[in-house]
Structure 1
């Protein structure tokens, strides 16, 4: 066990923001985490868990202990007639996990290829793309209770999944560390190709027979054509959530802007495309200083190099205010701000 002092976080966040932590430690098991937390050196400091750093914006240094989740391992722990139950360490890279599942014929998460981050963040965020969300393929997770030191099991119902939400982002925020996630994956694929440009991409690829490999590659191609690689341009993927509005609000907005893309949401609400709103407000490809909304995807805020976290945050505020003024819709940041 090693605790690093005054540690740089630049390589640990996909925005590439230079920030420092008073302490930094990596754990590879619940037992290691327990030992670190028992250290008298850091006992009274605030603590934060860090996964892949792909959904985080540092606007300041962190005067506490950052715990880097390094728990690894992928294992099919059981199966039934229709499913494989696949357990993954929370520190595993998400895309690598998806590719491992595809290689082994475990279906159901191929549409979630190339999403940045680690496995542990997937239920926390209820990540989703191209018609699939984690809650659709989730079985249970194990989480370390920071107060008691116990490892507890959470079912899907106990995770209280919502749109890019879970109980770990709300009332249990900062109280647990996700240790592992077990997914209920399919033996017989249920191909989801209606959302986005997957069908078109499959046709351009010349795919004659659907497979989870083909769908994964189509998603990878689409994402690579639209989204910048964080290694080239610092970013955290989609910076804002797609807003969900009431039917009454939709009636007012659609009367003024009938062309707005919209999708049905639970409880008779309407989901709007945040990227479309941002583009129509004039922010797509617009750069101010060292940051701006990407030229190919208005939903992605990028660091062109040298931007501070505060610069990026301020730019997101300008975008939010502009969209609210033009459309009367409040955008919510998907990225966690520190």
Structure 2
């Protein structure tokens, strides 16, 4: 009897401790969310812009900018009557000037707002238009935030249906500044199937979910190779991205193959959706564009 009483007491204590632990974790998460949002500026729309899609990644080198470029151009091809913009917020390593083949300096309006450069029907803005391509940007955090603010507020976009925002990798100042300052319609997470990339993609997804920014889904780059002769598809790294998407409760929107054509056309400033519009690679980006359009249409319907 004594043993049973001791065992029952221990079990009761353990159960109470577990309840307190669960409550404690919930309180910690609630406190973290409160601290992250405390004193943040009210989100203010960008003049003339209807819907904003942020393209993000945890790690660098996963094809995020390539995805942003091909998505923007695909949206324009799929919806010729819609207006599309592309904003490059990677201050230290802007890629949009090369990938969109636009190198000029932007003109200014009478209100001293920059006029985006246009190619393939897409209006583009990047820090790469404002600095010499061979000169490094050696700035501290406050200057970077000031530059991002100017890219957000000092650009005359006219009237845009969709603005695609290409971000630097990670979950740092740029991402937080965007989340805090503008109403984001949805975030597209780009990753490759390797475990190292998936781990940081998960962190990025959790960040956006905690700050109540809708996640459109995940794009898996370099997911497979397609034989040019028989068109057989072979997976390279397994199915970790599908598992991650399932665990996070979000969609795996598209799997983009690893193909030298994508790199070749990207480096030449001509996105594959323009260079080879009927190729497997281009069709993958166009399918992604359709799925993003469906998400945006649903969001707009819900907001009305």
| Range into which the TM-score falls when normalised by the shorter chain | under 0.3
Larger-gyration structure (1/2): 2
Tell me which protein shows more helix as a share of its residues.
2
Tell me which protein shows more strand as a share of its residues.
1
Report the TM-score, using the length of structure 2 for normalisation: 0.27
Report the TM-score, using the length of structure 1 for normalisation: 0.25
